[in-house]
């Protein structure tokens, strides 16, 4: 029944933001940031459960833990970048939002390069 | 994580706008500006603390 709580929270937040925004637009943005953080904290424990299940399955399937932890890191980076770029868009700065997204993509590609390299090594070894 | 931070920030916003109005009507423009600034700083400190919590949660969750 968490979704009902979250819906109520969202409705209350919208009411407050609509009251505050005409007078103090900068505080309205802060309110929306705080609302996003509160909603994430609501579901944080559930994400932890899912991640621990994924780790268990990977252990059973003998997947290399380095690759799995890299995947989880990429999920975290993209979540934070999404958060930041949505806030920037809400504040009317879509240029900064697209730069944040670009930075996240560059960081993810740079992090995943070692895995691409190991894949290429494997292909070279297989080829005669 | 509690919801009262939301109400706290909304209350700060309402109080700041009321103070701003009163000060402006009594002809103290610079003090009205200062109230706005201080309200923003207080809210920014609360938000920064919560953002730190969020980043720590994400870090522990996805084992950075």
Domain count for chain A: 2
Q: Where are the alpha helices (DSSP H) in A21-93?
A: 25-60, 65-90
What pLDDT digit, counting tens, does each position of A3-48 carry?
999 999 999 999 999 999 998 888 999 999 999 999 999 898 899 9
Q: Please report, rounded to a whole number, the percentage of residues in chain B having pLDDT higher than 90.
A: 75
B62 and A31 within 8 Å at the Cβ level: the answer is no
For residues A90 and A57, state if they share a domain: no
Domain identity same for A55 and A74:
no
CB contact under 8 A, A23 and B6: no
Distance CA A117, CA B7 (A): 51
pLDDT digits (tens, 9 = 90+) for A83-117: 999 999 999 999 999 999 999 999 999 999 988 99
Q: What is the pLDDT of residue B3?
A: 85
- Candidates A13, A24, A47; nearest CB to B61: A47
Number of domains forming the structure of chain B: 1
Contacts of B25 (CB under 8 A, 6+ apart): none
Average pLDDT, chain B: 91
* H/E segment holding residue B11: helix B4-25
What is the model's pLDDT at position A2?
86
Non-local (6+) Cβ contacts of A8 within 8 A are none
Instruction: For residue A48, list chain B residues with Cβ-Cβ distance below 8 A.
Output: 61
User: Considering A13, A28, A61, which residue would you say is the last residue of a domain?
Assistant: A61
Determine the average pLDDT of the residues in A64-86.
90
Give the distance from residue A19's alpha carbon to the nearest chain B alpha carbon, in angstroms: 8
Is residue B64 situated within a structural domain?
no
- Beta carbons of A13 and B6 less than 8 Å apart: yes
Domain assignment present for B45? yes
Domain range for A121 is 64-128
Cβ pair B61:A44 closer than 8 A: yes
d(CA A21, CA B6): 14
**What is the extent of the structural domain holding B47?**
4-59
**In whole numbers, what is the pLDDT of chain A averaged over residues?**
91
Q: Are residues A1 and A50 in the same domain?
A: yes
ipTM > 0.90 (yes/no): no
Q: In terms of domains, do A56 and A2 share one?
A: yes
Together in a domain, A111 and A52: no
pLDDT digits (tens, 9 = 90+) for B19-35: 999 999 998 899 999 99
Q: Are residues A15 and A40 in the same domain?
A: yes
**Res A128 pLDDT > 80:** no
One domain, residues A34 and A85: no
Query: Any CB–CB contact under 8 A between B13 and chain A?
Result: yes
Count the helix, strand and coil residues of chain A and give each as a percent rounded to the nearest 5.
90, 0, 10
Q: What's the maximum distance between 2 C-alpha atoms anywhere in chain B?
A: 55
Helices (H) and strands (E) in chain A, counts: 4, 0
With a cut of 60, say whether residue B1 has pLDDT above it.
Answer: no
Statement to judge: residues A52 and A103 lie in one domain: no
> Residue A60 has which token pair?
């059973």
């Amino acid at each position: 029944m968490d979704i009902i709580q979250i819906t109520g929270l969202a409705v209350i937040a919208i009411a407050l933001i609509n009251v505050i925004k005409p007078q103090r637009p900068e505080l309205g943005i802060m309110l929306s940031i705080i609302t996003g953080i509160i909603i994430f904290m609501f579901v944080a424990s559930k994400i932890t459960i899912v991640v621990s299940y994924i780790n268990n399955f990977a252990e059973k399937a003998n997947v290399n833990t380095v690759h799995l932890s890299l995947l989880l890191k990429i999920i975290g980076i993209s979540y934070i970048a999404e958060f930041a770029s949505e806030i920037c868009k809400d504040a009317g700065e879509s240029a900064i939002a697209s730069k944040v997204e670009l930075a996240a993509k560059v960081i993810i590609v740079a992090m995943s390069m070692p895995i691409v390299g190991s894949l290429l090594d494997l292909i070279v070894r297989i080829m005669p | 994580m509690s919801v009262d931070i939301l109400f706290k920030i909304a209350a700060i916003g309402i109080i700041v706008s009321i103070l701003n109005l009163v000060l402006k009507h009594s002809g103290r423009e610079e003090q009205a500006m200062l109230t706005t600034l201080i309200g923003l700083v207080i809210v920014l400190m609360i938000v920064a603390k919560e953002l730190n919590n969020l980043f720590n949660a994400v870090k522990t969750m996805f084992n950075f």
